Chain A
Amino acid sequence: MNQTTIAPVRYSVTVPISAARAFALFTDGFNTWWIGHHIGEAELAEAVIEPRVDGRWYERGVDGTECDWGKVLVYDPPERLVLTWQLNCRFEYDPDPAHASEVEVLFSPENELTRVSLEHRYIERLGTGGEELARSVSSEGGWPGILELYAKAAVAA
């Protein structure tokens, strides 16, 4: 099993609104700024972060189908939000918490501005099944995996 630690993805931006407004924009206003990444087969209609611990965050396609991305672990306005991201290498939702990666978002006031720092960590946990996938596609008949990925990308493009 490949459990090598993968470096977290980290980004931060400074925005000209208060931490409370920034937190609300990030969560309640998620759908207003999310840029359209989606895993479902239908076009993205809405992206939602439910405003409570143990809430879901998910996408809804124009056809009404919902695809979960993960759960809300910490909902602590206006300072901190922690979500799980549970889409594995095949872009499928994996409900096993042991396979969940985490996204932490911190909102820190800086004078009149707010620094929003995002860290997506434990990405290696998503890799469970990755080797299996690699094995299956390295064989001559192993194209179902890539065709599946292709079909998803084709719909997304």
Chain B
Amino acid sequence: MAVGQLSAELPVTRPAVSQHLKVLKQVGLVIDHADGTRRIYRLNPDGVRAIHYYLDRMWSQALAGFELAAQELAGAEKQAALSKSQEEE
């Protein structure tokens, strides 16, 4: 299905449709090919591989977020210990 066809059936603008299709493509849920100047999109028929790809990206980002939160926690604890020792001096 082409972007124009999709946007005709949806209550959103054509650029918005393109934007969202880009997101779906990134997570592997749709695949596309060129047809002249148009891009034709279809759902990736291999749902499980698509979901695998999605989960892979999701956990990679999630654990990066976890790591950052843990570093902030460690930093805050260090800071607290430091100011406590300064008070004691």
Contacts and interface: CB of A to CB of B under 8 A. Distances in A.
Contact of B45 (A29, A126, A134, A149): A134
A137 B42 contact: yes
A134 B56 contact: no
Contacts of B29: 149, 153
Contact of A33 (B30, B43, B68): B68
B56 A126 contact: no
A127 B48 CA distance: 5
B48 A146 contact: no
B34 interface: no
By size class, the interface of chain B is: 35 or more
Given A17-B74, A22-B70, A147-B9, A89 B50 contact: yes
Given A127-B47, A137-B42, A157-B19, A25 B65 contact: no
A7 B39 CA distance: 31
Interface residues of A, number: 48
Contacts of A21: 70, 73
Interface of B: 1, 6, 9-10, 12, 16-17, 19-21, 23-24, 29-30, 41-43, 45-52, 55-56, 58-71, 73-74, 77
Interface of A: 2, 4, 6-7, 9, 11-13, 15-17, 21-22, 25-26, 29, 32-35, 37, 85, 88-89, 116, 118, 120, 123-124, 126-127, 129-131, 133-134, 137-138, 143, 145-147, 149-150, 153-154, 156-157
29 contacts: A6-B52, A15-B67, A17-B70, A22-B70, A25-B70, A26-B66, A33-B66, A34-B62, A35-B64, A37-B61, A89-B51, A118-B63, A126-B51, A129-B47, A137-B42, A137-B45, A138-B45, A143-B9, A145-B43, A146-B1, A146-B42, A146-B43, A147-B6, A149-B24, A149-B30, A149-B43, A150-B10, A154-B16, A157-B19
